[in-house]
Amino acid sequence: MSINKTYAVFGLGKYGVAVAEELVKSGAEVLAVDVDQENVDNAAKTIPVCKCADITRPEVIERLGISNIDVVIVAMASNLEASVMAITLCKEVGVKNVIVKCGNEMHRMIFRRVGADKVVFPEKESGTRLAKNLLTSGFADMIELSDDVSMVELGVKDEWVGKTLIELNLRKKYSINVVAIRVGDKISTSVDPTLPLEKGHELIVIANTAKLQKLK
């Protein structure tokens, strides 16, 4: 994901506004939507495109052109029914990436079942951090360890499949250190640099934040 993609944020509470503001500050095109006019008016001070609308209605999704949006962030954790409807409608119109704010583990299971691509817990991931992750193209997740260093999870590129970490020499090429490999839900910190990488593997690496752009 990157600045070149289009984003929509449903729900303009503190979390939704934080996500939208960070995306806007980075120059991304953002549509912010809430059913409460007061929330819309407050958000409009810092977010250029804000709409007051009920996104649980199919005709509203169509009118807002959500089918043309690359990434939708559903930030209405307190309203389970509205979140489920938003996810379902977005997926029905072809939105490829729907990210949902979640309040508890049971809701996470429900959201994933109805099609959410990613579920985030606000107590674990701030809106600002989510926006930064979205703008860091190609990374499944990014945690800033300091101003200069980040831990990043990234998928194995097609050209890396079948090659070992020794052959790829990622440390020299990209100044990154592979600290673990995720396969499905399992994470192994015992990284064998002589084993070929496979499609679907996720590398967890530590790198200089500025140099991560090389991996785009």
Q: Is residue 196 pLDDT above 80, yes or no?
A: yes
Lowest mean pLDDT among 3-7, 52-56, 158-162, 207-211: 207-211
Q: Do 6-135 and 139-215 share a fold?
A: no
CA angle (164, 167, 168) in 5-degree steps? 85
The model carries a pTM of: 0.63
The gap from C-alpha 53 to its chain's centroid, in whole angstroms, comes to 23
Specify the pLDDT at position 184. 77
Q: What is the mean pLDDT of residues 102-127?
A: 80
Residue for token digits 């890396």? Answer: 160
Is the backbone of residue 27 left (phi > 0), alpha (psi -120 to 50) or beta?
A: left
Q: Is the per-residue pLDDT at 123 higher than 80?
A: no
**pLDDT of res. 26:** 83
pLDDT band of residue 140 (cuts 50, 70, 90) is low
Instruction: Pull the structure tokens for residue 175.
Output: 């100044």
What pLDDT does 20 receive? Answer: 93
Top pLDDT among 125 and 68 is at 68
* Cβ proximity of 34 and 16 under 8 Å: yes
CATH class of the domain defined by 139-215: alpha beta
User: Given pLDDT bands bounded at 50, 70 and 90, which one contains residue 46?
Assistant: very high
Domain ranges of the chain: 6-135, 139-215
Region 9-37: mean pLDDT is: 93
DSSP string, the chain: --TTSEEEEE--SHHHHHHHHHHHHTT-EEEEEES-HHHHHHHTTT-S-EEE--TTSHHHHHHTTGGG-SEEEE--TT-HHHHHHHHHHHHHTT-SEEEEE-SSHHHHHHHHHTT-SEEE-TTTS-HHHHHHHHHSTTEEEEEESSSSEEEEEEEPPGGGTT--HHHHTHHHHH-EEEEEEEETTEEES---TTSPP-TT-EEEEEEEGGGGGGG-
Residues 108 and 102: beta-carbon distance below 8 Å: yes
Give the span between the Cα atoms of 24 and 30, in whole angstroms. Answer: 6
Residue 137 has a pLDDT of: 47
**Lowest pLDDT segment from 23-37, 43-57, 129-143:** 129-143
Summary mean pLDDT of the chain: 84
Task: Summarize pLDDT for 146-179 with one digit per residue, the tens.
Answer: 667 777 778 888 899 999 999 998 888 877 888 8
Max CA pair span of the chain = 58
CATH class entry, domain 6-135: alpha beta
Q: What is the mean pLDDT of residues 63-75?
A: 96
pLDDT at 7: 96
Percentage of the chain lying above the pLDDT 90 cut = 45
Structure tokens, 65: 């052109």
Q: Are 72 and 11 in contact (CB under 8 A)?
A: no
Confidence class for position 125, pLDDT limits 50, 70, 90 = low
